[in-house]
Amino acid sequence: MTNPLRSDWDTPFTLPPFAAIETAHFAPAFEAALEEARGEISAITANPAPPDFENTIEALEKAGHGLNKVLAPFYHLSGTDSTPEREALMRSFSPKLAAYSSDVMLDEALFARVQAVWDARDGLGLGPEQARLLELTHRNFIRAGAALAGDGRARLREINGRLAELGTAFSQNLLADERTWFMPLSEADLEGLPGFVVDAAASAAAERDQSGHIVTLSRSLIVPFLQFSPRRDLRKTAFEAWGARGANGGETDNRAMTAEMLALRHERVRLLGFDSFADYKLETEMARTPGNVRDLLMAVWEPAKARADKDAAILEEMLVADGHSAPLEPWDWRFYAERRRKIEHDLDEAEVKPFFSLDAMIEAAFDCANRLFGLEFAPLEVDGPHPDARLWNVTRDGTHIAVFIGDYFARAGKRSGAWCSALRSQQRLEGDIRPHVVNVCNFAKPPAGQAALLSYDDARTLFHEFGHALHQMLSDVTYDSLSGTSVPRDFVELPSQLYEHWLEVPEVLERFARHADTGAAMPKDLLERVLGAATYDMGFQTVEYVASALVDLSFHDGPPPADPMQKQAEVLEALGMPRAIRMRHATPHFAHVFSGGYYASAYYSYMWSEVMDADAFEAFQEAGSAFDADMARKLEADILSRGGSEEPDVLYTRFRGRLPDVTALLKGRGLQDAA
C-alpha cells in the first residue's frame, strides 16, 4: 500500500491528505525521509565542484523538504489531537531529529564549504536576500558548534540529544496533567455561574464522557469559573490544580527535569564560548543583552506593581465585606476583579459575551485583512486535520495567496494555549510556493446548535494569532528560511500584537459585535463601556506576565540554579510579588521556556514587541484612520512581506522612521501614571 506521506499530493492546493493519513504511516515515512535527507546533505559535501552559493547555500535550503513533508502534519496532529501512539512516536522521533541536526551542523566537510562561500562573499555579486541567507546560514553553523573540535563536538551532540528528549517529555507531562484532571460540579455548585459557563462545563463533561458538568484545566473554562463562582472553596481547588500542572509528583512531574535542562543549556553555551545562555540567546535578538531586557521589564514592573498593590487593597476590602477572612488569595482575585468591573464600569462579561460570537470575530478579522491588504477568504470544503478545523482559500485580486486553517475549540488531546504555525511556508526558490497557515486556539466548545461565545480576551487572542497568520500569508521572499515568521523572537510578536488593535477600533465592533441570538448591534453605551474598560485590571495582567519573564531571564542569566523552584521563589521575593498574584506560567508548566526552549530566555519578547506595536498603531492614528491605505501598504511592504530578509531594527525603522521607547507601551496599558 502506498504511504500518502511519501506520495505526491493530488489535493486542492497540495494540502496534506489528512483523511488518508494514518498514525501507522508516520514511522516508515519518517525513517525513509530522514535517510533521504541525509543523502541530500551527503550529495552537497561530495560535490566535486568548488563551493559556491548555489551548490552549497541554496542546496542546503532545498535539502530536507521530504522530511518536512512528513513532520509538518505529524507535529500539527500531535499538538492538536494527541494520542498515546503519537506521543510514543514523538519520543522516538525527537532524539533522531536531534542527532540529524547535530550531524548536519557539525559536519566538518559541509561547514568547510559554507565557510568557503562566506570567505568569498564580497566577490560573489550576491543580491541582498542572498547575502542575508548566507549570513544567517554561516552564523547558524557557528552558533551550533561547527567551529568546535574534539571532545567539545562529541559533548555537544550528547547535550542536543538529551535536551530534545527532555523537551518532549516536558510537553507530554504537561498535557497528561491537563488531560486527566477535572472537577465535577453538582447542581448546587453551578449557583452564580452565568449560562455560558454552565454550557461550557456541560460540553466539557460530554467531551470526556462524564455526566453533568465539570471544570477542566482548559483556560477557556477555568478562567470564567474563577471569575464567576461564588464558592471560594471550589475556586481554591480549581486554581491550585491549575497551578500544580507539572508539579504533582510521580511520572508527570517536571521539576527535576527543568533543573537538568537549565544545566545542559548552560554547559552547551559555555562550550560555544558564551558566559550564559541568556548571552547566547539574546545575541541574535533585537534586545542583544540581558541587561537591556531587564531594563525594559523593570521599567514596566514598577508602575504595574504599584497599580496591582492598589487594586489588591480594594479587592481585599470586598472579600472581607463578604464575610471571608483576609488575606486576598490568588483564587479570589478574578472573582472580585469581575465584581469590581461590574461596579466601576457597569460591565458584566455575561452581558458582553453574546456580542462576541466566534463566527462574528472570525469575520471581523477577515474583514480587517480585506480593508487593509485586499485579502478575501472563501471557505474550502476539503478534508482538514480535525472535524472541528475550518479551511479557507485566501486570494487577492483573484490570485491565490494562501490556505488558512482555523482550529478553535479546546479538547482533551490538544495542548493548551494558542499558536500559529505553517504546514508549508511561502518561498520562490522551487516555484511560487504559497503557504498553508494554521491558527490553533482553545475556546470553549458550545453545546450542539449553539453559537460559540468568546470573552473579549478570547477575541483578542483570535486577532493576535491571525496577526501571525498574516505575517505568513503576506510573506514575499525567495527562501523558506527567511519566510514569514522566521524572525527574532522579540520581533515575531509585533505583527500579532499590532493586529489586536483593530479589535478595539469602534467601527469594527459596531459592525461585528452583534448579539449571537438576535443579531442586534451592541448598544452604543455598552460599546463605550467595553472600550473604556480596555485597560481594566492591567496591573494584575502586567505583573503576572513580567514576573514570568523575569524568572525566565534569571534562570538563564548566569550559572544554572540547582533548584529552579527555589530560584523562582527568590526572584519573586526580591521583586515583592503581590501575594494574591501568581506568575502567569510557573516553572513546572512554563512550556514557552521548557517545551523545546523556543522562548527560553526570551519570554520577555512579547513586551519588547509591544513597545513597537503600540508605536506602530499610533502611525495609523497619526495618518487619520486605522484603515489608512498608504500606511497599510507601507506595513506590508516594510514588515509583513519581508520575513527575516533584513534585521528587524532596519525593517521597523524603515516603517516608522525611528525606533520606539517604552512610553507608548505604558500609555497603551494605562500605566503611565501608576507609579
Strand 436-443 relative to strand 399-409, pairing: parallel
Please report the sign of the dihedral spanned by the C-alpha atoms of residue 78, residue 79, residue 83, residue 84: positive
The strands making up 390-396's β-sheet, listed across from edge to edge, are 376-379, 390-396, 399-409, 436-443, 419-424
Query: Could you please report the per-residue DSSP string of 581-606?
Result: ---SS-GGG-HHHHSS-TTTT-TTHH
Using only the alpha carbons of the chain, give its radius of gyration. 25
> Minimal CA–CA distance to 506: which of 521, 492, 494, 495?
521
Q: Report residue 629 as a C-alpha cell.
A: 491605505
| Cell 535536551 belongs to residue | 163
- DSSP state letter for 406: E
CA distance 553 to 604: 8
CA 162 centroid distance within chain:
24
CA distance 455 to 196: 10
Residue 510: CB atoms within 10 A of its CB come to: 13
The answer to whether 421 and 76 have CB atoms below 8 angstroms apart is yes
Question: Which stretches within 47-127 are classed as H helix?
Answer: 59-62, 65-80, 84-105, 108-119
Respond yes or no on whether the N-terminal peptide bond of residue 327 is cis (omega within 30° of 0).
yes
Angle at 171 between CA 589 and CA 65, to 5 degrees: 140
CA distance 666 to 674: 9
Bridge partners, 379 (sequence order)? 392
CA distance 284 to 272: 15
H/E run at residue 641? none
The answer to whether 44 and 56 have CB atoms below 8 angstroms apart is yes
- The catalytic residue among 58, 465, 493, 500 is 465
Q: Quick check: helix, strand or coil at residue 39?
A: helix
| Cell 462574528 belongs to residue | 360
Bridge partners, 213 (sequence order)? 185
| Cell 491550585 belongs to residue | 240
- In sequence order, which residues have a C-beta less than 8 Å from that of residue 400 and are 6 or more positions away? 13, 393, 394, 434
Q: Say whether 465 is catalytic.
A: yes
- The residues that are catalytic are 465
